[in-house]
Amino acid sequence: MIKPHGSDELNPLFVYDTEQRHALISEAESLPSLLLNSAAAANAVMLGGGYFNPLTGYMNLADALSTAETMHTTSGLFFPVPVLNLTEETGVAAGSRIALRDPNVEGNPVLAVMNVEAVEAVSDEQIDAMAEKIFRTLDPQHPGVATFKSLGKTLLSGPIQVLNFSYFQADFPDTFRTAVEIRNEIAEHGWEKVVAFQTRNPMHRAHEELCRMAMEDLGADGILIHMLLGKLKPGDIPADVRDAAIRKMVEVYFPANTVMITGYGFDMLYAGPREAVLHAVFRQNCGCTHLIVGRDHAGVGDYYGGFDAQTIFDEEVPDDALELEIYRADHTAYSKKLNKVVMMRDAPDHSKEDFVLLSGTAVREMLGKGIAPPPEFSRPEVAKILSDYYQTLDG
């Protein structure tokens, strides 16, 4: 199986030893506490699950600035975005040991225990420098920039030991998986070549066919549909609705035992090209050999060019940085001429009118009125689940 990023073996930071974990939970009750923000909590969950391999905790300021600027830590490790515990002024001192509490679960249980190696003040200029590199914009309307700049100016760094996976296991027991669990399942299937599909949205016909195309083109053994289960921007479809829609599509339209439906506990960054590279790191750590990178991957609004998330792998990612390879996808749509979904680049003789093209807004309006989008766009079983959701929304 493909090696994880940066090491021979996956090193998840979750404490699997039951005795040790119970001892840490007990110890945490007597430690000073820090209530995390959602971004830092999501980073802890991802560190716990092995997705951020080979990191051992939150980055310090030098590594954060270096990673944002060059996609490498000060020691030379390739990493596409800083992994931070940014917070407001805390009174926490360097050298202390603290309990990190979960902001997303009632009662704020302890999520992890941290050895604080450094507490550093981050200037406005440094925050802006990182945001500019990560998001390619400082526009406060960009949801990722707005979140990043609201986290605080105090950076706590050091190794952590993770004690649970926040609300993800309880809310998504059939879907949430760590990178460790996905690797194990891939090994159980005996799959060698595995294509990953990243999604924060329900999958329409074009997405479904894109997975099929990638699998056939690459001769893959299976596909990992890997959905983000964390915080999204207002207006995005909730994870439980997406999960139900994707499961129905796979159940009805894919051969048995060719698809793994999984999810991971991270908050969307909307960082476009940088996030696409981060998604590649995640999937290599899961044991996947390929990641589908499509048009405007991890984008939002019109902040990124349609294929910037592909060209970053050519222009900024060193050849030896990742073992995983990218499957480059164009915009896919149903061709009325050919009566099937195609990549638009493969149909040069088509005009716009030859495709079934619907905007997200148009689809939402149709579903909200209980009108099913055309079957060329959305499978009826999927449209039904989405329509039921949209009709529960006010207005």
| CA 361 – CA 367 distance, rounded (Å) | 10
| CA 339 – CA 337 distance, rounded (Å) | 6
Residues 311 and 295 sit within 8 Å (Cβ to Cβ): no
Q: Cite the residue boundaries of each domain of the chain with CATH code 3.10.400.10.
A: 18-166
Other residues' Cβ atoms within 10 Å of the Cβ of residue 154: 17
53 belongs to the catalytic site: no
Q: Residue-wise pLDDT tens for the chain (395 aa)?
A: 999 999 999 999 999 999 999 999 999 999 999 999 999 999 999 999 999 999 999 999 999 999 999 999 999 999 999 999 999 988 899 999 999 999 999 999 999 999 999 999 999 999 999 999 999 999 999 999 999 999 999 999 999 999 999 999 999 999 999 999 999 999 999 999 999 999 988 888 889 999 999 999 999 999 999 999 987 777 778 888 999 999 999 999 999 999 999 999 999 899 999 999 999 999 999 999 999 998 889 999 899 998 999 999 999 999 999 999 999 998 888 898 899 889 888 888 999 889 988 776 778 788 888 888 888 888 999 999 998 998 888 55
Identify the active-site residue in 200, 283, 295, 379.
Answer: 200
Per the structure block, which two tokens stand in for 216? 């056939």
Q: Which helix (H) or strand (E) holds 260?
A: strand 259-264
The pTM assigned to this predicted structure is: 0.94
Class of domain 18-166: alpha beta
Please enumerate in sequence order all residues whose Cβ is within 8 A of that of 240, keeping only pairs 6 or more positions apart, or say none: 171, 172
Identify the active-site residue in 108, 201, 212, 364.
Answer: 201
Pairing mode, strands 154-162 and 86-87: antiparallel
201 belongs to the catalytic site: yes
CATH for the stretch 174-264+272-390: 3.40.50.620
| CA 3 – CA 185 distance, rounded (Å) | 15
| CA 94 – CA 157 distance, rounded (Å) | 9
Q: Cite the residue boundaries of each domain of the chain with CATH code 3.40.50.620.
A: 174-264+272-390
